[in-house]
Structure 1
Amino acid sequence: MGGTLRFTFLLCVASQMLVYYLMPSTVAALSLSSETDKLALLALKEKLTNGVSDSLPSWNESLHFCEWPGVTCGRRHMRVSSLHLENQTLGGSLGPSLGNLTFLKLLMLRNLDLYGEIPAQIGRLKRLQDLIIDINKLEGEIPIELSNCTNLKVIELYHNHLNGRVPSWFGSMQLTWLNLGFNNLVGTIPPSLGNISSLGAMSLSSNHLGGNIPHALGKLSGLKTLYLDINNLSGEIPRSLYNLSNLQSFVLVENKLSGSLPSNMNLAFPNLQYFLVGGNQMTGIFPSSISNITHLNRFDIARNAFNGPIPLTLGRLNKLELIDIGENKFGSGGAHDLDFLSSLTNCTKLSYLSFYMNRFGGQLPDLIGNFSNLVTLDISFNQIYGAIPERIGQLINLTSLDIESNYLEGTIPSSIGMLKNMERLVLQSNKLSGNIPLSIGNLTILSEIYLASNKLEGTIPVTLRNCTKLEKVIMSINNLSGNIPNQTFGYLKGLIYLALFKNSFTGPIPSELGNLEQLSQLFLYSNKLSGEIPNELGGCSSLTILRLSKNFFHGNIPLFLGSSIRSLDMLDLSRNNFSGTIPFILENLTFLNYLGLSFNNLYGEVPTGGVFSNASQISLSGNNNLCGGIPQLKLPACFRKHKRSLKKKHIIISVIGGILISFIAFLAVHFLTGKRKRLPSSPSLQNERLRVTYGDLHEATNGFSSSNLVGVGSFGSVYRGSLLNFEGPIAVKVLNLETRGAAKSFIAECKALGKMKHRNLVKILTCCSSIDYSGVDFKAIVLDFMPNGSLENLLHNNEGSENENHSLSFTQMVDIALDVAHALDYLHHDEEEVVVHCDVKPSNVLLDQDMVAHLGDFGLARLIHGSTGNSSKDQVNSSTIKGTIGYLPPEYGAGGLVSSEGDIYSYGILLLEMLTGKRPTDNMFYENFILHKWCKMKISETILDIVDSRLLVSFAEDQTWIVENNIKECLVMFAKIGVACSEEFPTQRMLSKDVIVKLLEIKRKLRDD
């Protein structure tokens, strides 16, 4: 017993001595480890803040680093276990020192404006469990070193600029949360993600992912949240996903998914709260079984092709807040189409109800007033008739009401004034009549009101002045009359858009409109307004569009239009009674793309600067006493006083004298340089009277000066010049003979153009094959100069065009498309030898002073014997053609024969580029997602989603006007031509003659409107 006690005592003493001797080194080790974390944090701060000393000021020596804001340390080792910073504008990057914080478990760097890549050193954080670096600007790929962090449970990298693919090695991790949404990830969803059995939530929203949804995702039995929306996913939703019975959120909107929904939705997803698959290509009937999914909160199947009846059992969904079934094929135009609304009144939490753009008929029932919690109601673009129920005023929570484009009639109920939360009221394109109710003035937070295209009468109610938040007022195409009320619009200080056109308003323009400093677009045309334009209107300094045509205005064109309002893009004063001269100050409007002055009483000299330098941008007809201007206007010369004429003669004599002196100097230089070779001239291939030498072209282009350079192509450069004895400017295409294929290109182009004559082909004047002053071979083609540059320049920034402010209207676009179609039809059918251009693209479509299009650059052209161009021995294998990526047809890439169908494919892509403003090589297109497929997917109801925004602006109207005047139909027709021409298989493409017929039909519709 005593021995045992003695042994125990000795053991305790030894233990205490061991602790005593080891203590200093342990403390030192802990101190050293802490110092490592401190240095890592300081280095990280330098990177996070870009060295800005004012950022993270508390990270300094006055505090222990464990007390720094956002830093948490473990108690045992005093090492950094958590780094949490958010909602600051640090603006830096992630440094490699991050990898030294090896005890880190939580890394949250949210909304710090960080850029750069995620450092590979992050893979050293073996203890890391939560990685949250979202709402920043990080780029590059997700580093593979992250796979070393085997304890990771949460990865949140959403809302960055990350690229590359979704890593397949995620499948070997035990994640519970994966969020990579709102990045630039490409490729397909890796099936290996289905191996993450612990995953409870996954989001890959808003990327560029394509392909099918992997069947393997159906193995994620614990998954509650799945977000794959806003990608390019295709194919059917895998049936395996309907085994995920724990799913609460199923979000696949805005993809290209097809197929139908299962009939047993309630069994597949008994716990579902969010089911959002809108914006796809799905078909089938409405899944009535959703009525049994008792937890359903949001249901969106809009923008698909579903059909069939809407079940009358939706009222069981007592938790439903949103239902959107718009833009489908529901309804038959029958009287009972809206019966389902009765059931929905039991959904007392419903705040968003949308069934726009379907085929619903019937009357809007009185029970609509029972939806007391509705915030948004959109029933536009249907076939609903009858009156607007008075009980609409009971929807006191409504902020947006849209019943556009139906057959509603009767008056606007005065109860509309009870909707005091209303921000957006859209009643346009119906058959509403009577006066606009005075109660409209009760909507004091209203920002947009659309009443256009009805049969409304009377005057604009003065109570509208109470709606001081208004930004858009659209009352066009009605029967409104009387004066535009004074002291009404002047109170609407935030007004941006005012459209009152096509009514019967009389009297002057209210001077108080000049108080609207933010007004951008003002449409008063086609009324009976009179008087002079008030000078106060010069206060509208933000105006971009002012249309006053078809009224009875008189007086002079006010000078303030060229001084106070400098941002004008469109000014239309045509068909009035304006008199006097055209103010030269209008030349100062550098953004002006259209000026309409036709059919007035204007006289005197027409300016030549600014918008007046382009005949296609101004309209002056109907003013018989105008003179001068640019030659294209073909106006008579202006009479000059004698003194001015004498001054002009002195100038001419001086210029001629200068030219003579220069000519004598030139001859002297020529005779003094006797060692140079005599340069032979080349015979003209097109015009026997026009023979040019290298010297002629050298002089014509000012020595091929860079100031005369107008473009650079694959085989050479194009210069502007002028030749003696030739009227008008010329274009000289100088071949770079060091470029492989340039000589063949020269021969091909001369051969092709030398024998062809058509108004829509670039006219060749001559070819020059000679030697330059250094004795080096020189080859050039002389062509008509096209002052409006290429279609490429007009579509994309107008670089290099003399008319850099010009943007195409839809009418001009159709004309250009028609011109090119005529050119191709001539090449393919009107010659003994079929000519295949092989490089149809916007940069090879040139525009003359009248905006007539000419197809040029035949350097790749091939001649095929026989009018059909099919089985000739002279056909060329396309592997020898080096066309332009994006415009080359698929069969050329596979080595198929060159054919006229190949040109038609390129032409189709050209049309789609004109319509969308997108090049076929735009970054948004990749792999199988090409311009053709994008447009084909959007044709019909969603056509306006892809139309170039600049083109929509050129209509200078709201979208109702576009629909009302068949513009939308014409846009669809134009898109269909482009899609039909660019089909994958040559036999499926349109013939050029059919293209011409369709384009002429569009022109006829536009002209009729």
Structure 2
Amino acid sequence: MAMRLSSLLLLLKLSASMSIPTFMAAGTDEEAALLAFKAAAISEGDQRVVALSLSSRGFTGVLSPAVGNLSSLRRLNLSFNGFGGDIRASIGRLRHLQVLDLSRNTFSGEFPVNLTSCINLTTIFLRYNQLHGHVSFEIGDKLTGLSVLSLDNNNFTGAIQESLSNLSSLTNLEFAFNQLEGDIPSSLGNIRSIQYLTLAFNDLSGEPPLSLYNLSSLQWLQLQGNMLHGGIPADIGNRLPHILILGFFSNHFTGPIPASLSNLTRLGRLHVLVHLGLSYNRLEADDGEGWEFLTSLSNCTQLDFLDFSSNAAFNGQLPSSIANLSTNLQTLSFCDTGISGSIPSSIGNLVRLQIFRGQNTSISGVIPENIGRLGNLTELLLFNTYLSEQIPSFIGNLSNLIHLDAHHANLEGPIPASIGKMKNLNILDLSQNRLNGSIPEDISDYHSFLYA
């Protein structure tokens, strides 16, 4: 059955407000847009349009106010285009709307308050636009059926609204990369259904409320890039049994890293800690205490990212248990700390390691022979350290290495010819050491940046 005339006229009004990419153009922009709209529209019953999906079509222009006349619309997806201007207030007339996705455009203006009239909404994606102003408090009061609220990568300001705690079905609350400020409301801890909470890279301050750590369904907790302070709860591993990603870096957290993180193993299940980012804080450790977490993390068998760099109060000797971390580990960074001691001889156990950053520390001793087993390594940074003796010839076994920097590392002796076998190496810096002899010809022939 053909689409009813009134629906076609509405689509025509919508198409008149936008431009069509050249690769789609056929006749006038308006004609091409109408054809695209007809192809993307889904109708049912009396042929009213109930869904319109025009993602990644290359459209530009503004959203026509006529969108508010599609009174039966349940799903509207205009993501990954070049729409700009305000999000039309008329969208608030779409009382049947359930899913709205306007992400990855250039919409500007403030959060459309009329949107809170769409009381059947379950999903809102407005991320990656240029929206500004405050996030409406009416969201929590009127859109109580929301399960996804994604406003990442905009320019929203003001506080996180307490009323969001009314969204008892919310699974995703995504506010990262905005300019939100103030404390994290303790009432967010009442949203027991939440699984993905991303508040990263805002201007939030204060101490995260303890209620946040009671959200036992959380899989992602990203608080990095704020001005938060206080300690990480000692029993965090018991409180967040499903957590996959913990992002606490670039804040002002103090105290030790909790050993209870080892409880995030969920043995026999798929829910395990894979990402732990704690850099750029004020976390503490010394030879007496604070390193227990590292031993406990050996139980996290799926861990692939561990970064506790740039914590100036992190001191003491690097435990040999670091080599007992997950064999899935791909990134290990403890640079810019007061850590001393030597690199464990068993470091080669971390066979999937790709990035090793130990620069700007007080580590000493030889580069262990076992490091030659790290065939997946692409970045090895050991500069500004207190290593000793010669660069071992087995370093040439690191055939995937792209960046090797061991300048000012107290090394001595000749540059091993085996480095010439590292055909992927682009940056090599061995300057400010006590090296002697000549630079092997194979090295000088093909490396993009060579400092020796």
- 1:423 corresponds, among 356, 369, 378, to 378
Distance 1:337 1:477, change over 3 A: farther
Question: Could you say which residue in structure 2 is the equivalent of 1:35?
Answer: 5
Q: Which residue of 2 aligns with 1:235?
A: 206
Name the SS of the counterpart of 2:389 in structure 1. strand
Residue 360 and residue 143 in structure 1: after superposition, are their counterparts in 2 closer, same or farther (change >3 A)?
A: same
Match of 2:297 in 1: 344
Residue in 1 that maps onto 2:82: 113
1:145 corresponds to: 114
Q: Tell me the distance in 2 between the aligned counterparts of 1:442 and 1:271.
A: 38
**Within 2, Cα distance between the matches of 1:67 and 1:260?**
53
Report whether the alignment pairs 1:354 with 2:307.
yes
Q: Which amino acid aligns with 2:397?
A: N
The question of 1:45 aligning with 2:15 is answered yes
Instruction: Report the Cα offset of residue 476 of structure 1.
Output: 1.4
**Cα distance in structure 1, aligned partners of 2:264 and 2:446:** 50
The amino acid of 2:282's aligned partner reads N
Cα RMSD over matched residues?
Answer: 3.3
Q: 1:136 to 1:295 in 2, by over 3 A?
A: farther
Contact preservation (8 Å) 2:261, 2:297? no
Is the CA contact 2:285–2:315 (under 8 Å) kept in the aligned structure 1?
yes
Partner of residue 276, structure 2: 323
Q: Which residue of 1 aligns with 2:332?
A: 377
1:409 is aligned to 364
Report the equivalent of 1:135: 104
Contact 1:333 1:383 in 2 (8 A): no
3-state SS of 2:348 partner: helix
Partner letter of residue 285 of structure 2?
G
Is residue 499 from structure 1 mapped to residue 445 from structure 2 by the alignment?
no
1:734 equivalent in structure 2: none
Tell me, which stretches of 5 or more residues in structure 2 are unaligned? none
Paired position in structure 1 for 2:391? 436
* Structure 1 residues 721-741: Cα deviation after superposition (integer angstroms, max 9, x where no partner): xxxxxxxxxxxxxxxxxxxxx
Rounded Cα–Cα distance in structure 1 between residues aligned with 2:451 and 2:36: 63
> Contact 1:318/1:348 (CA < 8 Å) preserved in 2?
no
Q: Which amino acid aligns with 2:419?
A: L
1:273–1:295 Cα contact (<8 Å) kept: no
Work out whether residues 66 and 80 of structure 1, in 8 Å CA contact, stay in contact via their aligned partners in 2: no
* Counterpart residue number, 1:616: none
Residues 825-877 of structure 1: CA distance to partner in whole angstroms, max 9, x if unpaired?
xxxxxxxxxxxxxxxxxxxxxxxxxxxxxxxxxxxxxxxxxxxxxxxxxxxxx
Q: Is the 8 A contact 1:158 1:182 kept in 2?
A: yes
1:408 is paired with a residue whose SS is strand
2:195 aligns to what?
224
Residue of structure 2 in register with 1:164 after alignment: 133
Q: What code does the residue aligned with 1:201 have?
A: N
Matched-pair contact (CA < 8 Å) for 2:262–2:293? no
SS for the counterpart of 1:178 is strand
Contact kept? 1:436, 1:456, Cα under 8 Å: yes
Number of the residue aligned with 1:82:
51
In structure 2, give the amino acid aligned to 1:444: S
CA displacement at 1:269 relative to structure 2: 4.0
Q: Secondary structure at the match of 1:434?
A: coil
SS in 2 for 1:234: strand
Instruction: Provide the C-alpha distance between the structure 2 equivalents of 1:82 and 1:111, rounded to a whole number of angstroms.
Output: 17
Deviation (angstroms), 1:287: 4.1
Q: Distance in 2 between matches of 1:483 and 1:116?
A: 63
**Greater percentage in helix:** 1
Residues 655-674 of structure 1: per-residue CA shift (max 9 Å, x gap): xxxxxxxxxxxxxxxxxxxx
TM-score calculated relative to the size of structure 1: 0.41
Q: Give 2:450's aligned amino acid.
A: L
- The residue identity in structure 2 corresponding to 1:154 is T
- Equivalent residue number for residue 456 of structure 1: 411
Shift of 1:210: 0.8
For each residue in 1:295-314, what CA deviation from the matched residue of structure 2 results, as whole angstroms up to 9, or x when unmatched? Answer: 49xxxxxxxxxxxxxxxxxx
SS of the counterpart of 2:194? coil
Give the corresponding residue for 2:153: 182
The one-letter code of the counterpart of 1:490 is: D
1:125 matched to 2:79? The reply is: no
> Which structure 1 residue ranges, 5 or more long, are not aligned?
1-29, 297-315, 501-1009
2:20–2:59 contact (8 Å) kept in structure 1: no
Shift, 1:107, TM fit = 0.7
Check the 8 A contact 2:228/2:252 in 1, yes or no.
yes
Conserved in 1, the CA contact under 8 Å of 2:400 and 2:422? yes
Question: How many angstroms does 1:100 deviate by?
Answer: 2.7
Task: Count residues in correspondence.
Answer: 445
Q: Is the 8 A contact 2:37 2:54 kept in 1?
A: no
**Distance change >3 Å, CA 267–CA 407, structure 1 → 2:** closer
When residues 466 and 111 of structure 1 are mapped into structure 2, their CA distance, relative to the original with a 3 A threshold, is farther
What CA distance in whole angstroms lies between the structure 2 residues aligned with 1:83 and 1:386? 61
Could you tell me how far apart the structure 2 residues matched to 1:321 and 1:62 are?
Answer: 47
Which residue number in structure 1 is paired with residue 247 of structure 2? 276
- Return the structure number with greater relative CO, CA threshold 8 A, min gap 6: 2
Structure 2 residue matching 1:368: 3-state secondary structure: helix
CA contact (8 A) 2:264 2:273 kept: no
Give the Cα–Cα distance (whole angstroms) in 2 for the partners of residues 329 and 209 of structure 1. 25
Relative to structure 1, the CA distance from residue 370 to residue 126 in structure 2 (aligned partners, 3 Å threshold; closer, same or farther) is closer
Q: 2:328 is aligned with what amino acid?
A: N
- The within-5 A match list for 1:276-675 is 276-295=247-266, 319-326=272-279, 327-333=281-287, 338=291, 340-356=293-309, 357=311, 358-362=313-317, 364-365=319-320, 368=323, 371-492=326-447, 495=448, 497-500=449-452
* Structure 1 residue 329, shift from structure 2 partner: 3.7
Counterpart amino acid of 1:350?
L
